[in-house]
Every structure is written in structure tokens, then in C-alpha cells.
Amino acid sequence: MAMFGSLSERLNHIFSKMKERGKLTELEINNAMREIRVALLEADVSFSVAKQFVADVSEQAKGEKILESLTPGQQVVKLVNEELIKVMGNTQSKLDLTGTHPAVIMMCGLQGAGKTTFCGKLANYLKSQGKKPLLVACDIYRNAAIDQLKIVGKQANVEVFAKGNQDPVKTATESVDYAKKQNFDVVIIDTAGRLHIDTEMMKELQRIKEKVKPQEILFTIDAMTGQDSVNVAKEFNDQLDVTGIIVTKLDGDTRGGVALSVKAVTGKPIKFCGVGEKLGDIEPFYPERMASRILGMGDVLTLIEKAQSAVDEKEMERLQKSMRENSFTLQDFLAQYDNLDKMGDINQLLEMIPGAKKKLGNVSINPKEMARNKAIIQSMTKTERQNPDVIKASQKKRIASGSGTNIQDVNTLLKQFAQSKEMMKQFSGKGKKKGKFPFF
């Protein structure tokens, strides 16, 4: 199910009933607010946050402008959207990498929250921003923690500073000195986690903080662990005065209560979220964009940013030209699959398109089908990719065999390609319908 899926469905069901009415009475608003409160609690939003959220929206919804409005349902949606943005932090909170050089980021959190993996994602993200990051292995207690950081460091092509089982405080201190000499911009310290908070762990983290004086102390929270993790975040903040929150595994949780609760409970902003298992599945956290996703309104800005990061300008211009001139080939089709793969989970991308859910329903695109189609195209010759009309029965048999599929799969792909070309022809103005093809 999609990110925030359960909450989005519940809220939209409530709003649809409100929009059916020409005017709303206070009783109807009270009933709707009660339903919203239940929806928030079922989404694992903190009780105190849900209570305050509903109280704030309810107070504004009962104002004269809403009760007398010709579109009261839409007005309530607007209020809920504004309150969602407010509870998640109003504006984006960026990393503070100013001050000393190199900038130091100290990552902390419990075991299993995805902290070490996120260190690699963050390093990869900072690299894309023109930074030179250094990963530092300071978790000497969890089996294979250092090896795991080395693996993600290799994936991100980022150096890992490790000193085996040496005192983590000493390793952290030495890493900063090393980074200065080697001209690294950012030091990302992967500290030790525990299954639960304990005094020794906190003392070690406090000693690291005292020695390296990090610009950022980021607490990693697992979206799938619910309110328990929010309480842990509060405890870490009380002990370390964290500067921000990282929410991981947000793609795997249909409730989203953590994202809606942690800012209100800790007072600290969410800075990034993890939305998948791949190295590039990291997103800066924008409260207004996240609120839009929760309400099923899409997130076009993030979609555009993903497209721009996945496809360079020359490649995008070339693909657009081939679409306009109706010279789109199976090789271009393969490139589109690759671009979508770089952008992340295809079903998450669909969520970002306004109105897609309403038009397509609960349609889900199977990534395995995309992988199968790529294998089919890769099993074709250059001539076949450029001109699929030359593909006859004998070629289809060879292509199916080479891609580990069957002739029916090959026929299905060729049919999809033909339909896509026809749609592009219509959008380019060469068919019956005229318009602009909306490439992303």
C-alpha cells in the first residue's frame, strides 16, 4: 500500500461526504472532526498531537466564513491541509553545514532504524550537491556494523574511516583531523545504536558530541515502529539536544503517524526521509509537499526534481525531440525504463501526479513487469530496436528465449510500444488530437 495510504483514504472519505453538502452545520463539523481524530489515531499519530490538531481545525471550521460558505467542504480541506503543514514544521529545514570545516554530522538512533544505511544515502546525496563526504564507523558493538558501513560507502563511492574496535570517541576525533588533512567537506559519524536506550550509550554519544562538536545531530526514526519511536526520539533530544530528525522506511508504512507526531513531540524538524531501499531513495522533507501527498493532491515539485536528477538535460531534449518527431524507438523506450528506475519506486511516482489516484484507482505497477520488458528489449538486435516492424515469429522466439520470457510477453511489449507511439503522435499534433506531450 502507498505511503500514508490508510490515512489518505480515511481523510478523503470524510471530505467526500462533506463536499456533498451545500452547507455545513456545527453538528456535521463536530462529527467530521471526530472521524478525523479517529483517522489520525489509527494512523498512529500521538494522542496529544491528534487532540490538538482536531481542536485547532475545529475552532477555525466553526467560524462564520466556513459555515456560510458555498463550498464548506473545500474550505475544511484547506484548513486541514494548513494544519498538517503546521504540525510537520511549516517550512523545509535544511542541513546546517556552515561554520567549521569540515562540517560534522553525528547520526544517532536505536538498532534497526536504518541509521547505517541512511549514512550511505546521505553521503550519496551530499556528493550530488557537490560535497566531498567522509563516512566514519563508530559502531563497534553491533556485529558487522563496520562492514555494513563499508559496503554502503563503496556503493556511494565514498571513503569510510574505520579503526576497528578502537574507542569510538577516539575514532570520531581522529576522523575529523583526517578529514581536515584530506580536504573532506563533511564528516558523517555513524554512532552505535542499542535495542533500547541505556546510560552507557548516552554517555558515549555525549562524549563524541563534546569532542567533535557536530553542526548537526540527527536522530534516525523508523516510521514503522509507531509511537514508541517518537518517545525514544524525545529521550534522545532531552539527552543530546538533536538538531533534526531522519524518518526512514516511510515508503513501507501506510499510516505515517511518526511523520505527523515527531516534530510536535520533540520540537525538532524532520530534515530527510528514506523512501526505499536504493541508495538514491532519500528525499529532503518538505511539510507542504508531504501534506499534499497525505490529502491525495500529488507532489509535482518533488516529481520534477526526481526527473531532473535522473535525466541530464541533453538526454531529456533528445527524448522530447524523438517524441515530437514521432521517431521514438524501442531503444528510447528502454531509456525511459532506466530513467524511471533511477527516479525510484514507480508507484510512489504515480502518487505524486495530481489526480492520478482518482483516475487510475488503486492501480499498482509491478516493478517485475518493468524488469521483464527491459530484458526483452535488451535481447533484441539494434535493427529490431530501431524498427520493431521487422520482428517476425522466428525473431520473437529468439528474443523470448534470450530474455527468459515467452512469445506472449514479447507480443504484449510490442503492443504497449505501439500504443505509446500512437499516444505521442496524438499529443505531438500529428494525430486527431493536438496538444503537447507531457514528458517528465
Determine phi and psi for 152, rounding to 5 degrees: -70, -30
Residue 440: pLDDT above 80? no
Q: Residue 109's pLDDT is what? A: 86
pLDDT digits (tens, 9 = 90+) for 279-317: 888 888 888 888 877 776 655 566 666 666 666 667 667
DSSP 186: E
Q: Residue 158's pLDDT is what? A: 92
Question: In angstroms, what CA-CA distances link 152 with 55, 68, 122, 186, 188?
Answer: 45, 57, 11, 17, 13
Half-sphere exposure of 230 (CA within 13 A, CB side): 24
Question: How many Å apart are CA 28 and CA 26, to the nearest integer?
Answer: 5
Instruction: Report the range of poorest mean pLDDT among 242-256, 257-271, 290-304, 402-416.
Output: 290-304
Contact 439, 323 (CB under 8 A): yes
Q: Residue 308's pLDDT is what? A: 62
Question: How many Å apart are CA 298 and CA 302, to the nearest integer?
Answer: 9
DSSP 139: -
Question: How many Å apart are CA 368 and CA 318, to the nearest integer?
Answer: 27
Question: How many Å apart are CA 45 and CA 43, to the nearest integer?
Answer: 6
Q: Which residues contact 13 (CB under 8 A, 6 or more apart)?
A: none
Among 50, 127, 124, which residue's Cα sits nearest to residue 84? Answer: 50
Task: Name the average pLDDT for the chain.
Answer: 80
Burial (0-12, 13-18, 19+ Cβ within 10 Å), 173: middle
Label the pairing between strands 282-284 and 270-274. Answer: antiparallel
Superfamily (CATH) of domain 103-297 = P-loop containing nucleotide triphosphate hydrolases (3.40.50.300)
Question: In angstroms, what CA-CA distances link 255 with 44, 55, 249, 361, 367?
Answer: 6, 21, 12, 19, 23
Residue 361: pLDDT above 60? no
Q: Residue 432's pLDDT is what? A: 42
Can you read off the three cell numbers belonging to residue 436?
503537447
Superfamily (CATH) of domain 5-87 = SRP54, nucleotide-binding domain (1.20.120.140)
Asked, colleague to colleague, whether 5-87 and 103-297 share their fold, the answer is: no
Burial (0-12, 13-18, 19+ Cβ within 10 Å), 142: middle
Residue 46: pLDDT above 90? no
- Residue recorded with cell 491525495: 296
Q: Residue 422's pLDDT is what? A: 74
Q: Residue 430's pLDDT is what? A: 44
Question: How many Å apart are CA 214 and CA 227, to the nearest integer?
Answer: 27
The domain spans of the chain are 5-87, 103-297, 312-427
Q: In the chain, helix, strand, coil percent, each to 5?
A: 60, 10, 30
3-state secondary structure of 91: coil
Q: Is 139 left (phi over 0), alpha (psi -120 to 50) or beta?
A: beta
pLDDT digits (tens, 9 = 90+) for 156-213: 999 999 888 889 999 999 999 999 999 999 999 999 877 667 788 888 899 999 999 9
Question: In angstroms, what CA-CA distances link 282 with 14, 124, 371, 402?
Answer: 31, 9, 22, 35
Question: How many Å apart are CA 235 and CA 240, to the nearest integer?
Answer: 9
Can you read off the three cell numbers belonging to residue 143?
556485529
Amino acid at 417: F
3-state secondary structure of 382: helix
Amino acid at 364: S
Question: How many Å apart are CA 208 and CA 202, to the nearest integer?
Answer: 10
H/E stretch holding 162 reads: strand 160-162
Question: In angstroms, what CA-CA distances link 415 with 235, 373, 408, 409, 424?
Answer: 57, 12, 10, 10, 14
Question: In angstroms, what CA-CA distances link 97 with 176, 338, 339?
Answer: 14, 33, 31
Q: What fold characterizes domain 312-427? A: 434 Repressor (Amino-terminal Domain) (1.10.260)
Question: How many Å apart are CA 44 and CA 317, to the nearest integer?
Answer: 45
